[in-house]
Amino acid sequence: MSNYYKQTRQETIIYTVVWILLFLSPLASLFSHYDDTPAQEAQVMNSLIDTWASILTFFIVFLIHNHLLAPMLVKNKRVKQYVIATIAIVALFQVAHCAHKPNGSPLLKVTSQEAAAPPPEGFKRFGANGRPPIDRHDISVFTIVIMMLGCNLGVKSYFQNEEEKRHLAKLKEQSLKQELEYLRYQINPHFIMNTLNNIHALVDIDPEQAKDSIVDMSKMMRYLLYESDNHCVSLSSAILFLKKYLNLMKLRYMDTVNINLDVPEHCNEDVALGPLVFIPFVENAFKHGVSIDKTSTIDIDIKHKDGRLLFHCHNSKSHAKHEYGGVGLSNVTKRLELIYGNDYCLDIHDEDDSYDVLLNLPAKCPGDFSDSTQPQLMSNA
């Protein structure tokens, strides 16, 4: 059931309960006179019918206001038309009620004997029959109808505001989702380009290894294809992907880079993170940390502790002048903000001879996550 129909149903239930209670409330008077004489019971019944007739007129005004007038203001923002229409219907209602008492007889009707009798000292009659233009009953009726319309407008405004909040939240969620998808599609070609460059370097060095690397890359591409539609991936899946990527890099750089990877041996499948969060930092480590004239070092450490994921990537820096950043690093920073909001910490320390990345994430990724949607990579990492 959509939120709109759910909201309409809740609003209808509130109105139904209130009006049922109002129509049942006069029955208390009937039960209180149950043991009285037949004449008194008949009088009570007539009073009960008159009261129901009066409540019915209020109910008709409520229906007109609820279905025609209130939407004019709450949904369409037509203030002028609403005010004019509401004043008109309240005036007609007031005229109808001022014409008769609740029991149907004219208000303050004066008999001929009363009219002929001299008025008490200090008393002033109004009109030919002694009826004042406005009395206490008229003021009570007017106050009740205004309060009824005000309550109806308040309830309808509340549900309308809730609907607008849900609509804005949905639009914001769709906007963030589209931006996140764009960032994912942006990083995939960037990653593919770097991986193809690695395989290209292997073709002349070791053609057989290059063939195996192409097979591994196809598995990684399948992972990229499947995970790109998921808001989160399991930690075990992210680590397996990282291991395959490091295997490709080891084949390219052979003994020129010491790669140390420290990750949990067994990962709880409930632990999840945003897709491709670690890879851009590792790519940067290879891009800017590998030196031609000396052995380089890349240390990667991933821990799950106290409901948090701790990622640390340390690499030595080459003498070549490189500017850190590019598509990968700026991309992952934006994705971290979209996925985690303020619930993450990224510290980068750029020294003369080293580069450190410290990333602290919650172990529970916001959004839906189901391990059944994760692609199955072969474990020959």
Domain ranges of the chain: 3-168, 190-373
Residue 268 pLDDT class (50, 70, 90 cuts): confident
What whole-number distance in Å separates Cα of residue 101 and Cα of residue 137?
A: 8
User: 25 pLDDT exceeds 70?
Assistant: yes
Instruction: Output the pLDDT for position 324.
Output: 46
Pick the CATH number of 190-373 from 1.20.1730.10, 3.40.640.10, 3.30.565.10, 1.10.510.10: 3.30.565.10
Q: Kind of pairing, strands 296-305 and 308-316? A: antiparallel
The reported pLDDT for the residue numbered 36 is 57
Q: From its phi and psi, is residue 130 left (phi > 0), alpha (psi between -120 and 50) or beta?
A: left
pLDDT > 60? residue 243: yes
> 354 vs 293, which has greater pLDDT?
354
Give the pLDDT band of residue 106 (cuts 50, 70, 90). Answer: very low
Q: Quick one: what percent of the chain has pLDDT higher than 90? A: 14
Lowest mean pLDDT among 75-89, 94-108, 290-304: 94-108
pLDDT at 135 over 70: no
Residue 344, pLDDT score: 92
Residue 374 to residue 63: CA distance in whole angstroms: 54
- Is the pLDDT confidence value at 358 over 90? yes
Report whether pLDDT(19) > 80: yes
> How high is the pLDDT of residue 261?
93
Q: Where is pLDDT greater, at 347 or 24?
A: 347
Q: Minimum mean pLDDT among 9-23, 213-227, 257-271: which range?
A: 213-227
pLDDT at res. 227: 65
- Residue 189 burial by CB count (10 A; 0-12/13-18/19+): exposed, middle or buried? exposed
CA distance 347 to 371: 30
Higher pLDDT pick, 40 / 279: 279
Alpha-carbon gap, residue 247 to 227, rounded angstroms: 20
Of the candidates 103, 125, 102, 100, the residue with the CA atom closest to the CA atom of residue 115: 125
Question: What CA–CA distance (Å, rounded) separates 61 from 68?
Answer: 10
The answer on pLDDT for 182 being more than 80 is no
Indicate the pTM of the whole model: 0.52
Q: Is the pLDDT of residue 47 over 80?
A: no
Q: Is a pLDDT exceeding 60 seen at residue 82?
A: yes
pLDDT of residue 368: 44
The three-point CA angle 283-286-287 to 5° equals 80
* SS3 assignment, position 213: helix
Judge whether residue 110 has pLDDT over 80: no
Task: Tell me how far CA of residue 242 lies from CA of 235, 333, 372, in angstroms.
Answer: 10, 18, 20
Decide the pairing of beta strands 257-262 and 296-305: parallel
Is the pLDDT at 108 greater than 90? The verdict is no
pLDDT greater than 90 at residue 381: no
pLDDT per residue as tens digits for the range 213-225: 888 778 777 777 7
